[in-house]
Amino acid sequence: MAWRQSGQGDLVGFSFGSALRIAAPIGFLLLHSAVAVAQSTEAPPVFNAAQIPNINRVGANYTVQNPVRSDGLLRIYVLTTPYGEFRVQGDEMLRMRLNELHALALLEKVSSSESFAKALAEAGISPVVFAGHLITNPIGTVQNTLAGVGGFFGRVSSGIANSGKTPDDTVSSVLGVTDQRRKLAAAYGVDPYTDFPPLSAKLEQLSQAAAMGGLTVTAALFVIPGGVAGLVVSNLSTAYKLSDIGIEELASNYTASQILDLNRKRLLAMGVNPDLTERLLANRNYTPIDMATMVAALDSMHAVRSREAYAACAAAVGARAIAYVMRRQAELMADDYRRHGDYARFVALVGYPYVITRDGRVETVAPIDALSWTDETSAGFASVNAERNRIAPNARGELRITGQATALAKRWFKAHGWSVLERQRP
């Protein structure tokens, strides 16, 4: 598998399958084009949204449009919401988006409640001004915030060192807005640095109100509808730690710059060279939480050599949807390693990370929903197969995917010495 270096997240679409052809070296494609054309291929399947496992087609503030198309690797969803239509690439990102939409529905209930309106009034904030997106912090708020932040100087030094690499706004950080945003996001089980525009806007609005209104407004925001049972299932990783700090604690209590410093420390300790480390950390297609989760997952595979190969693939990503796939891939591979412990070293095949196991297999675990044998996947995997044969001529291949593969795709892999294992989830 390989990636196309373009696109901007899930608000615009591109063919994920076409990445296999575009990113592959031209020499490999010319060499194997005759094979790809000669064998039979198929159109990618179309799915009924209501029949896709573990996906609720309709929620309080969204509908998944029917039918759901695919591109040879991932399902391509279109969400209709009160905030507009959003294209979402893959089951993994869809689960994140539905989680975020659930959190957004809860935040909307809180911000429109009588208790929240009362809290605004008691804090001297006009609901009319609040609805108009506010918000100017008074000087007193700045002074009180600065007086109460024990780690302020450490945060400032991290921010200067990582200037331009994180989404934190320096003024907002000083005013306490980013602290409130992190705590609010963690309470509702979402990434405080989410790239989902409606949720990001709501978190910003409410965190500004909390910073301006103090404890009265903050307390009102944490009265989550339905109590504890109303909390969403977090899309923050709970399985891994970064320098012994859990991902949820990082999301709640550490600035983006501090998280970046921790990522840098762990990558360098893994043997990733400094230039590559900085390129990866500067890739804004990852949120700070994505980056921390991916680095923590790699760090957990402590006995696996050449983790730099994974970092190089991740650093080269040029689209948000692919960055999220890389983050989830790291988690899947770390879980697979934890259970089986048979990884020896990482390698890159046509720009995508695989491992060579201790018994000599070439393997990857990939968040692929619906593998079908299109012209593009045929050409792409022919290149992957050629690379495998070059670096490990007698090795068996093993492709583990979270979804399913068509019969035609499985026949090709079997004929070329690969096993396809379906429904591989933690």
Q: How would you write the pLDDT of the chain (426 residues) with one tens digit per residue?
A: 544 333 334 433 334 444 443 333 323 332 343 344 445 999 999 999 999 998 999 999 999 999 999 999 999 999 999 999 999 999 999 999 999 999 999 999 988 888 888 888 888 876 644 554 443 333 333 333 333 333 333 444 444 455 555 565 443 443 457 888 998 998 888 999 999 999 999 999 898 888 888 888 888 888 887 654 455 556 677 777 888 899 988 988 999 999 999 999 999 999 999 999 999 999 999 999 999 999 999 999 999 999 999 999 999 999 999 999 999 999 999 999 999 999 999 999 999 999 999 999 999 999 999 999 999 999 999 999 999 999 999 899 999 999 999 999 999 999 999 999 999 876
In the listed set 213, 230, 247, which residue is the last one of a domain according to the structure?
A: 230
Q: Is residue 426 part of a domain?
A: no
**Cα–Cα distance between 149 and 147 in angstroms, integer?**
6
Do 241 and 320 belong together in one domain?
yes
320 shares its domain with 194: no
Residue 399 sits in the same domain as residue 365: yes
Q: Are residues 149 and 261 in the same domain?
A: no
Same domain, 53 and 190: no
86 found inside a domain: no
162 — alpha (psi -120 to 50), left (phi > 0) or beta? Answer: alpha
Q: Are residues 220 and 240 in the same domain?
A: no
Whether residue 322 lies inside any domain: the answer is yes
In a domain, 85, yes or no: no
Same domain, 59 and 125: no
The domain of 379 spans 9-79+236-421
Q: Are residues 116 and 257 in the same domain?
A: no
Same domain, 171 and 205: yes
Instruction: Tell me if 272 is assigned to some domain.
Output: yes
Domain stops at, among 188, 205, 230? 230
**Same domain as 390, residue 354:** yes
For the chain, how many structural domains are there in total? 2
In this structure, are 279 and 367 located in the same domain?
A: yes
The residue from 230, 264, 296 where one domain ends is: 230
For residue 130, being part of any structural domain is answered with yes
Same domain, yes or no: 182 and 35? no
